[in-house]
Amino acid sequence: MAGLAKGLAVIEAFGRSRATLTVSEAAQATGLTRATARRCLLTLTELGYLAHDGKHFRPTPRMARLGQSYARTDPLPRLAQPHLVSAREALGESVSLAVYDDGASVFVARAETERVVSAGVRVGTRLAACGSATGRVLLAALPDAELDAYLADCRPQPRTPKSLVDVEEIRRQILAVREGGAAVTDEELELGMRSMATPVRDAEGEIRAALSVSAFTARISLEDMYDQFLPVLQDHAERIGRML
C-alpha cells in the first residue's frame, strides 16, 4: 500500500503547469527519492498510464479513466449535467460545476460553447480555491475556524496583474459570498476573462458545489453579469440542489 501511495503522489504531480516530468522533477514534486520516483514512473509507463520519450514522462489518454471513475459513480456530475447544458444555452457561455478538495476547486462537470474559451478549464482542472470564483464560493461554506486555518496558510500565487494577493481582501471576498450568494473574478485568472460562481446547496442548505460561468470581458461587463447571468445561475443551482 505504501507503493500505491507513492504512485498516486506521482500521478498527482502532473498538472497544468507540469504536462511532462523527468525523474528529477517527479522526485522534487513528491518528496520521493530519485530511485523511488523512477520506479513509480516506469511502473505507470508499463501499465499504460504514461508515455516515455527517454527523458520526459507524459500522461496518456488512459489516465482519464481515473477521473472517469469519480464522474461515473458520484451522482452530482450526472444530475447536474442537463442543467449545465440548459444554463449554457440560456447564457451563450460555458458553464461548469466544481467541488472543494484539499484547498482547491476541482471541476467535475462542464458544458462548453462552440467558441474556444482560452482559460483552459476542463473536467478535472484544479484551481487554487482562494484565487477562483468557484473556490471562494466553496470556501464560504467552511466553518469559521477552518476558513481561518486555510487563510493562515494561504500563499496566493498571482496569475495576472489583477490577481488578488492580499489575504484579508480575499477573506472579504469569501465572506461577501455568504451575504450576496455569488463570487466573481475579473481578469484574475487570465486577462480578458471574467468568471462568476454561485453555490449549489443540498436539501439541508449545505453548500455541495459551485456553479460557474466564464466569459470574455469584451462580451459582458461585471454589472451585466450580475443582472443577466446571476439569476440564471442561481435558478439552475437551486434546481440541482433540490435533487441532492
For residue 204, the domain's CATH number is 3.30.450.40
Q: How many CB atoms lie within 10 A of CB 235?
A: 16
20 is in which domain, residue-wise?
A: 2-61
CA distance 129 to 151: 10
CA distance 91 to 87: 6
* 35 and 90 fall within a common domain: no
* 105 and 15 fall within a common domain: no
Of residues 191 and 65, more confidence is placed in 191
* 108 and 45 fall within a common domain: no
* 52 and 167 fall within a common domain: no
Number of domains observed in the structure of the chain:
2
DSSP state of 226: I
* 39 and 149 fall within a common domain: no
Q: Bridge partners of 207?
A: 201
pLDDT band at 116 (very low <50, low <70, confident <90, very high): low
* 137 and 205 fall within a common domain: yes
Of residues 168 and 118, more confidence is placed in 168
The tens digit of pLDDT for each residue in 71-103 reads: 555 678 888 999 999 999 999 999 999 999 888
- Can you tell me the mean pLDDT for 108-113? 90
The model's pTM is 0.73
DSSP state of 189: S
The tens digit of pLDDT for each residue in 3-19 reads: 888 988 998 888 766 78
pLDDT band at 68 (very low <50, low <70, confident <90, very high): low
Helix or strand or coil: residue 51? strand
Task: Give percent of the chain with pLDDT exceeding 70.
Answer: 93
pLDDT band at 61 (very low <50, low <70, confident <90, very high): confident
C-alpha cell at 78: 450526472
pLDDT band at 191 (very low <50, low <70, confident <90, very high): very high
